[in-house]
């Protein structure tokens, strides 16, 4: 077996161009403050599983029902990961083969719906996801989509309005989940609404899976027919996905993933998911999830103190959505200036945004990555101060360079998990 150093040398000797780009990205991840809420650092153990010899295997089918021989260890591996997922999330069935979150949602619709059936999900500009019925996505092309929105004043979900919309539209499935909603979901109420209109209830917990495991966000398992999640973000695993469901839906879900929508599973990713699930079933991970929320609240409080406008006025989870309208700068300009200063964010629409999606009014930030590095509330306040400086002078290169140097000094004191020591 090659050790990490030998493996890197093999890559360098075989393909120095790819090697150099990976080295640069590694430095970038070490030296920058990564505030994109969908990004994180995985452990060295997760990286090792991701790059293992399991990438050599082809394993169409499921444990005990494969279309290839030579699956003795793969069957044991996938069964182990399924069992870990079921235990961690308290569900009856787990499919760990989806390649990512969007295919997981597509598989759920394929399993439960017929073409043209009605999907009711959260509007993308109000914090939802493309696959929840937004008009440029497959979910709106192959199904009839209706969207619920947040309140114009509070920017919170009005569950009475959701109930009224569901009763008038009679969707076949109601979807909960978001990419830019900084508050908790009331899964119990959404489950009640779904039952009232004889609809399935899908909880897409891609962003908040780790928070649910840590006990700092309500759990959808008692209320949802199906749960989908990515395995990175707050769960701190590889880029993959899972579908968790009641036993009554297991056969339809499995058939939707394979053979309907995918070929062979990515066994190296399955193994890495298993490692991440084992790590998540620890007291240390629970403490990590709790710190993510404390950090997000501290970051939000400091930004508010410095005159920033936050969508919904703050956060309950890992995510903060900033409305830069009062600052006189667009989200894109601010995000690019922050990146030059070593603070990585993404520009994002805000609810009722008058600007176009490619140049919106907002910036989206989150705390999973910085929390993985061991940063706490004091560091969040320093980060907010730097953001204030940069956003106030987005074209000032001297400010960007000075802040970038200070950012690197901070990062040097908090080594990134999984990355080699500098």
Catalytic entry in 58, 355, 381, 408: 58
User: If you ran DSSP here, which 8-state letter would residue 69 be given?
Assistant: S
By the 10 Å C-beta count (0-12 exposed, 13-18 middle, 19+ buried), 117 is classed as middle
Neighbours of 3 (CB within 10 A): 8
Q: Is 288 assigned a catalytic role?
A: no
Q: Is 233 assigned a catalytic role?
A: yes
Alpha-carbon span 347 to 324, nearest angstrom: 10
User: If you ran DSSP here, which 8-state letter would residue 204 be given?
Assistant: E
Q: Is 239 assigned a catalytic role?
A: yes
Classify 275 as helix, strand or coil: helix
Q: Is 57 assigned a catalytic role?
A: no
Alpha-carbon span 371 to 279, nearest angstrom: 15
Catalytic entry in 78, 204, 302, 316: 204
Alpha-carbon span 364 to 323, nearest angstrom: 9
Q: Is 204 assigned a catalytic role?
A: yes
Alpha-carbon span 97 to 242, nearest angstrom: 7
251, containing H or E segment: helix 250-255
Q: Is 60 assigned a catalytic role?
A: yes
Catalytic entry in 230, 330, 345, 371: 230
Alpha-carbon span 289 to 285, nearest angstrom: 6
| Residue 275 CB-half CA count within 13 A | 23
Catalytic entry in 84, 172, 233, 373: 233
Catalytic entry in 239, 246, 294, 336: 239
Annotated catalytic residues are 58, 60, 204, 230, 233, 239
């Amino acid at each position: 077996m090659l050790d990490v150093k030998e493996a890197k040398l093999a890559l360098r000797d075989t393909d120095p161009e790819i090697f150099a780009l990976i080295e640069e990205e590694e430095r970038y991840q070490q030296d920058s403050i990564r505030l994109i809420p969908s990004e994180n650092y995985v452990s060295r153990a997760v990286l090792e599983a991701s790059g293992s010899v399991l990438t050599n295997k082809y394993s169409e089918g499921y444990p005990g029902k494969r279309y290839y021989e030579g699956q003795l260890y793969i069957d044991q591996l996938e069964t182990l990961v399924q069992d870990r997922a079921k235990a961690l999330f308290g569900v009856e069935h787990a499919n760990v083969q989806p390649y990512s979150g969007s295919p997981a949602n597509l598989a759920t619709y394929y399993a439960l719906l017929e073409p043209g059936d009605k999907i009711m999900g959260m509007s993308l500009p109000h914090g939802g996801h493309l696959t929840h019925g937004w008009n440029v996505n497959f979910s709106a092309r192959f199904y009839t989509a209706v969207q619920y929105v947040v309140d114009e004043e509070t920017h919170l979900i009005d569950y009475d309005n959701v109930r009224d919309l569901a009763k008038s539209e009679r969707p076949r499935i109601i979807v909960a989940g978001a990419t830019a909603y900084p508050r908790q979901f009331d899964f119990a109420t959404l489950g009640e609404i779904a039952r009232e209109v004889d609809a399935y209830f899908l909880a897409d917990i891609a962003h908040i899976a780790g928070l649910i495991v840590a006990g700092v966000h309500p759990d959808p398992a008692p209320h949802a027919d199906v749960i989908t999640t990515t395995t990175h973000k707050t769960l701190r695993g590889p880029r993959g996905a899972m579908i968790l469901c009641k036993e009554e839906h297991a056969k339809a879900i499995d058939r939707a993933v394979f053979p309907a929508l995918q070929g062979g599973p990515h066994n190296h990713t399955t193994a890495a998911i298993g490692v991440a699930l084992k790590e998540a079933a620890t007291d240390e991970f629970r403490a990590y999830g709790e710190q993510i929320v404390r950090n997000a609240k501290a970051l939000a409080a400091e930004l508010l103190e410095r005159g920033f406008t936050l969508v919904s006025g703050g956060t309950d989870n890992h995510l903060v959505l900033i409305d830069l309208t009062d600052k006189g700068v667009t989200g894109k300009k601010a995000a690019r200036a922050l990146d030059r200063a070593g603070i990585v964010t993404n520009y994002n629409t805000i609810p009722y945004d008058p600007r176009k999606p490619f140049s919106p009014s907002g910036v989206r930030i989150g705390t999973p990555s910085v929390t993985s590095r061991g940063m706490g509330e004091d560091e969040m306040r320093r980060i907010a101060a730097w953001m204030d400086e940069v956003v106030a002078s987005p074209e000032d290169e001297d400010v960007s360079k000075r802040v970038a140097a200070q950012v690197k000094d901070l990062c040097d004191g908090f080594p990134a998990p999984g990355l080699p020591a500098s």
